[in-house]
Structure 1
Amino acid sequence: MSTAHQSDYFTLFRTALDENDRRSKVIVFADIVGSTDMKAKGEVTWLPTVGKFYDVVGEAVSQTGGRVVKYLGDGAVLAFDDDKAAEAINAAILIQESLEELRHDNKLQCQCSIGVTTGRPVSFEIAGATDFVGESVDLAARLCGAANPNAVWADANTVSAANMARVRSRVGAAMRRGVAEYRTGEESVRLKGFSDPVKYHEIIWSTTPFGVRNSVVTQIVNRESDKVVAEAANTSRDRSREWQLGTVVSWSGDRGMGFVRADGEKEDRFVLKHWLVGVDELPRGQRVAFLGNTAAPGKKNATAVRVMIFDQPTQGQIAVCPDGRDYVFVEVRDSNRTPNRGLIFCPRPATESKIGDWVSVVPIVDASGRPAMRLG
């Protein structure tokens, strides 16, 4: 490791590049979303928010065995040894869970996005502390900047190195989530400063992934669309994943949960607020469309997810638009502070369409009498 002296960074970095013992590190880059608007409200609002964010980051690091490299005003850089990739992911999850809890309790209105990468950064010492620069640090920052608020993105190297069996989240534990269910499939996105598409996975710490920021959604080059299309095609052969219609049996606004009974079923299905799309609650007797899941091991009730009000349009954004096909996939989101994300299979619009276009999705009954989706 090289040591920096005043006005000697050129020599420092030049020497560091020639060192052969550069160690692999896992870098976590966390950044507050909407910091510019927050600063406009004045220091009385801004500084306590940043201070609490720093506390949340510090506590997450202390629980997972990493260290804070530096704070960046509205963000933070963390470092973990390369054998602690799972711990780095868990630190990112802890940060998001803590911020979500604070928002829920109206104690702090702060969201962040997080990027996690593994590589061999250049390390140097300044003022008695070790800092890092290099491609993996830049990549963590770029992934963070491309991810939606509340999202955790990890590059392919990190996910490959991590023992995903050690990755945990509160929601994941409650849902008895399997090892493979804590991440999306491999995706790739073009990022500024990187000539080739960057492969990454989103870490699913909440009920669903949070996805890509609107500003970069048109830059997605591989959302595993072939896999998504295949899954959609299989829907017709998998009754449990077809759209179903049902009626709201009960809803508790205080608890953010309720029950829906599907047409033709005798047992009620459990619904959480985070599984609603376009609404925050479900009045009793409301007709809804949803995707059904079987009951988790040890649980009595099956669940209804991606719940939408029947015959009511919901805004979404085209996320997959295969050339030469008569369908698209629309990403929908709800109005909660921690938005639900999900892809919906729809007929291709009659007008020219492309990734990133906003459209309305409406649950209907098609000519054959089956629940379906149409673009409004």
Structure 2
Amino acid sequence: MSLSQAFRDPMSKVSGTIVFFDLVGSTIMKFAEPEISWLPKIGDFLDIISSEVKKEEGGEIIKYLGDGAMAFYHIDNATEAINASIRIQVKLALQRKNGENNNFCKIGISSGKIYSAKTPNDFVDYFGTVADKAQRLCSASEKNGIFIDEATRDECRPNKITSPLGSAKSREGRDYLSKEASLWLKGFSKPVQYFEIIWDEQGFGPNVDAISYTTSGGQLKSNNSEPSPKHDIENHDQIKSNINDRTKWMKGVISANKGQFGFINGADGNTYFFDGNTSIPDLHPENSKIFFHPLPPRPGKRYPIAGNVICIGSELNGTIINKNKERSFCFVSINGARQPNANVYVSLKDEEEVENGDFVSFEIAENQFGPYAKGILRDQ
């Protein structure tokens, strides 16, 4: 039976629970590390998922998705899907604590009627709104989070949900479920109701990259029916160290571009906010590889700022500074920067003769030390 026939056949619908697992920060990891380093880390992550999604509990891995996976559970085993997800998060947390790796995961779970069909390779796959919702809930969660939809809440047996920390705290039944909340998710015409599984000390909340946002008076305003909870940023000391050296460039990748503002996954594993006031010359598209200066959050805001955002490969203009006859390099101060210290390295060995004060055009490139200007051309 072809896929189009299967999708038209009501008999192709089965009742089930779909789980999406996603490795957080894999784009940055691939950008910052050689394949021989990052590929085994992804393999370790997928091995943990495979070890915890058990057939005897009604679950099976349907497919790997590069740096994630999709699993299917029989509808009667929604609780087992939740407990397997908790075990995966606990294992990853223990590995991080023991210094074995630094993998973080987020998980989305949805239940209901879903289309089942065989692929050209004769494997069974699952399609439809339930699968889409599980994937979107996964994307909507912060790292460490487990989001489930209303149907999964209705199908699971809360008194059978368990986690090591919950057991130690004598947590029972619905103590593992957050209050009901809602999110606007891509591909859905109205807010999606969800619950977070509280497997740790507290919940981790939603990830702003996956939520629909509007701007009002320069302030971020979530389309949620109630404000999202604030969560402390991890790695405070690392952020503080980065911010203290405001001349230090950090690598990153544009994870979200909302039109008037966006977010960056920094090489330190944290999320940075940027807008037209901090990007040179303007907002860059999603997945762009960039450098930026980490700056402190604006008053009352959660996210640190990415200042002087420059895209690798972009062509910019600037002014030659700090040239000294006793050394073979200088710097170019980038035009259009709204924060100080927007200076990049220039190797005088590789470029035409320039002098302090010359206006030049150049391309942003990178080496092991950070960004540098190449292809220097003096403006005539």
- Cα distance per residue 1:242-283 (max 9 Å; x no partner): xxxxxxxxxxxxxxxxxxxxxxxxxxxxxxxx9999979xxx
Equivalent residue of 1:359, what SS?
coil
**Residue in structure 2 matched with residue 36 of structure 1 by the alignment:** 27
Q: CA deviation at 1:358?
A: 5.9
Structure 1 position 92 matched with structure 2 position 97: no
Structure 1: distance between partners of 2:90 and 2:298 = 31
**Pairing of 1:132-211 with structure 2 (within 5 A):** 132-211=126-205
Q: Which amino acid aligns with 2:85?
A: A
* 2:300 aligned partner: 359
Aligned counterparts, 1:1-376, within 5 A: 2=1, 11-20=2-11, 22-40=13-31, 41-62=33-54, 64-126=57-119, 127-215=121-209, 216=211, 218-223=221-226, 359=300
- What CA distance in whole angstroms lies between the structure 2 residues aligned with 1:157 and 1:125? 25
Name the SS of the counterpart of 2:202 in structure 1. Answer: coil
Do the aligned partners of residues 199 and 275 (structure 1) sit closer, same or farther apart at CA in structure 2, a change above 3 Å counting? closer
CA distance in 2, matches of 1:358, 1:94: 38
Identity of counterpart residues, as a percentage? 35
Paired residue for 1:320? none
Residues 1:25 and 1:128: Cα distance change in structure 2 (over 3 Å): same
Structure index of larger Rg: 2
CA distance in 2, matches of 1:187, 1:214: 15
The Cα shift of 1:95 comes to 1.1
Aligned residue for 1:221, secondary structure, equals coil
Q: CA deviation at 1:21?
A: 5.3
Which amino acid in structure 2 is aligned with residue 35 of structure 1?
A: S
Alpha-carbon distance change, 277 to 66 in structure 1, aligned in 2, over 3 angstroms: closer
| Secondary structure, counterpart of 2:142 in structure 1 | coil
Task: Name the CA shift for 1:357/1:176 in 2 (closer, same or farther; >3 Å).
Answer: farther
Q: Per-residue deviation at 1:212? A: 1.0
Return the TM-score normalized by structure 1: 0.57
Aligned to 2:366: none
Distance 1:220 1:203 in 2: 22
Which amino acid in 2 is paired with 1:24?
A: S
Q: CA deviation at 1:222?
A: 2.4
Letter in 1 for 2:44: K
- Counterpart code for 1:12: L
Shift of 1:145: 0.6
- For residues 157 and 224 of structure 1, the distance between their equivalents in structure 2, rounded to whole angstroms, comes to 23
**Residues 105, 181 of structure 1: CA spacing in aligned structure 2 closer, same or farther, 3 A cutoff?**
same
The CA deviation at 1:13 is: 2.6
Structure 1 residue 224: deviation in Å? 8.4
Q: What is the Cα-based RMSD across aligned positions, in Å? A: 3.0
Q: Is the 8 A contact 1:164 1:179 kept in 2?
A: yes
Decide whether aligned partners of structure 1 residues 136 and 358 sit closer, same or farther in structure 2, where only a CA change above 3 A counts. farther
Unmatched runs of 5 consecutive residues or more in structure 1: 3-10, 229-273, 281-336, 339-355, 362-376
TM superposition shift of 1:112:
1.2
Question: Contact 2:146 / 2:197 at 8 angstroms: preserved in 1?
Answer: yes
Gap change, CA 1:55 and 1:357, over 3 Å in 2: same
Given that 1:186 and 1:224 are in contact with CA atoms closer than 8 Å, whether structure 2 keeps it comes out as no
Aligned residue for 2:178, secondary structure, equals coil
Q: Partners of 1:177 and 1:111 in 2: how far apart?
A: 24
Gaps of 5+ in 2: 214-220, 238-268, 271-296, 303-380
Contact 1:67 1:78 in 2 (8 A): yes
Q: Is the 8 A contact 1:25 1:79 kept in 2?
A: yes
Amino acid at match of 2:7: A
Deviations 1:74-98 (A, max 9, x none): 1100000000110011111111111
4+ runs of 1 displaced by more than 6 Å?
Answer: 274-280
User: How far 1:180 moved relative to its partner?
Assistant: 1.4
Counterparts of 1:206 and 1:93, CA distance in 2: 9
- Letter paired with 1:132: Y
Number of residue-to-residue matches in the alignment: 233
* Structure-2-length-normalised TM-score: 0.56
Match of 1:304 in 2: none
Aligned to 1:7: none
Give the drift of 1:66. 0.6
2:19 maps to a residue whose letter is: V
Q: Distance in 2 between matches of 1:135 and 1:276?
A: 33
